């Protein structure tokens, strides 16, 4: 049993921290939102009054924060000055590759082992302990972090050196954003061509148009397995976070001169959806905008 500091108890971290407590670890949890700490306590964690207090005496520090600026601030201001020598530091947030590398290198200079370990899987997988972790860091740091990630995971995969976890995550989510957008377009087109959406789902989910966006996350209510579409696109993976990941992918592509036109198109579509107020909706809710914009040329 290890003493684990868990910082960031939002949609994702709020589900993840209790899974570590259930696995028998002593988890001290902190968030800026008191209600989030209260929920973690109900889930078997203990509470702290600051991030600095959370990390004192911790063997392992895990963060699940919104974006790079939060991760940088927490590691620089709270973790590095207060964590005990030799503590293992794990960031599970989705941030840009460069920031992950810089934060890790800075912590390495201070003698800490750090891995970037972003996740795939939404809020349900966070609560159910079935996330996929993509881990960037040395072989030793990966082996050391694995037992602490496993209680929250269905898979823990070593992506490569520092920053490789973030690289895998944004490449994966670029596929996800583009396939969801085109799956929505296909459903709208199929409907307009007179196809029954359920019949189209049954065909395409068994044909070469099959993808996770089609088979496991069909963007229409009543079609396929239960998805956020059945809850008017509430919950799930917010479109604003998808846009964030597509921007990270574009930034990363520019930094290495990679040509990613489909990723760019998906980013533009999600930007428009967020600008029209869809940021809090599940990312599959973009089908509503695609359906609407379809009508524009006919008006």
Tokens 């699940």 belong to 64
**x-or-dash string of contact with ligand NAD, 170-209, rule CB under 6 A:** ----------------------------------------
Among 30, 75, 148, 217, indicate the residue that binds ligand NAD (CB under 6 A).
30
In angstroms, give the least distance from the CB of 13 to ligand NAD. 5
Assign 235 to helix, strand or coil: coil
Eight-class DSSP state of 219:
S
Among 5, 62, 74, 141, indicate the residue that binds ligand NAD (CB under 6 A).
74
Among 7, 152, 223, 287, indicate the residue that binds ligand NAD (CB under 6 A).
7
Instruction: Count other C-beta atoms under 10 Å from residue 232's C-beta.
Output: 12
How many residues of this chain interact with ligand NAD, rule: CB under 6 A? 25
115-134 binders of ligand NAD (CB under 6 A): 119, 122-123
Distance of alpha carbon 117 from alpha carbon 162, whole angstroms: 10
Of all residues in the shown chain, the one whose CB is closest to ligand NAD is: 10
Distance of alpha carbon 251 from alpha carbon 162, whole angstroms: 18
Q: Does 27 bind ligand NAD (CB under 6 A)?
A: no
How would you label 243-279 residue by residue, b for 16+ Cβ within 10 Å and e otherwise?
A: bbbbbbbbebbeeeeeebeebbebbebbeebbeeebb
How would you label 157-176 residue by residue, b for 16+ Cβ within 10 Å and e otherwise?
A: bbbebbbbbbbbbbbbbbbb
For ligand NAD, the closer CB: 8 or 224: 8
Tokens 């980013």 belong to 267
Among 250, 287, 278, smallest CA distance to 265 is for: 250
Q: Does 52 bind ligand NAD (CB under 6 A)?
A: no
For ligand NAD, the closer CB: 6 or 200: 6
In angstroms, give the least distance from the CB of 20 to ligand NAD. 15
Residue numbers annotated as active site: 169
For ligand NAD, the closer CB: 230 or 291: 230
């Amino acid at each position: 049993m290890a003493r684990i500091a868990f910082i960031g108890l939002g949609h994702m971290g709020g589900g993840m921290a209790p899974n570590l407590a259930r696995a028998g670890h002593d988890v001290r949890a902190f968030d800026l939102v008191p209600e989030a700490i209260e929920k973690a306590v109900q889930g078997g964690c203990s509470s702290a009054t600051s991030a600095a207090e959370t990390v004192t005496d911790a063997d392992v520090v895990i963060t699940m924060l919104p974006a790079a600026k939060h991760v940088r601030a927490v590691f620089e201001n709270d973790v590095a000055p207060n964590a005990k020598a030799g503590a293992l530091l794990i960031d599970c947030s989705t941030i840009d590759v460069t920031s992950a590398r810089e934060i890790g290198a800075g912590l390495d200079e201070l003698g800490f082992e750090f891995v970037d370990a972003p996740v795939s899987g939404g809020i349900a997988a966070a609560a159910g302990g079935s996330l996929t972790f993509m881990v960037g860091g040395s072989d030793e740091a990966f082996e050391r972090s694995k037992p602490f990630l496993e209680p929250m995971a269905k898979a823990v995969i070593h992506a490569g050196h520092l920053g490789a976890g973030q690289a895998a995550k944004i490449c994966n989510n670029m596929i996800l954003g583009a396939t969801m957008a085109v799956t929505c377009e296909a459903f709208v087109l199929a409907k307009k061509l007179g196809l029954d959406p359920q019949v189209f789902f049954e065909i395409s989910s068994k044909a070469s148009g099959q993808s996770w966006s089609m088979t496991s996350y069909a963007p229409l209510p009543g079609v396929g397995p239960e998805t956020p579409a059945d809850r008017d696109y509430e919950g799930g993976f917010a479109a604003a976070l998808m846009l964030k990941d597509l921007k990270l992918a574009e930034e990363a592509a520019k930094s290495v001169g990679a040509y990613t036109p489909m990723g760019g198109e998906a980013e533009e579509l999600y930007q428009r959806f967020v600008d029209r107020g869809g940021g809090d909706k599940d990312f599959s809710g973009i089908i509503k905008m695609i359906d609407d914009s379809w009508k524009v040329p006919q008006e």
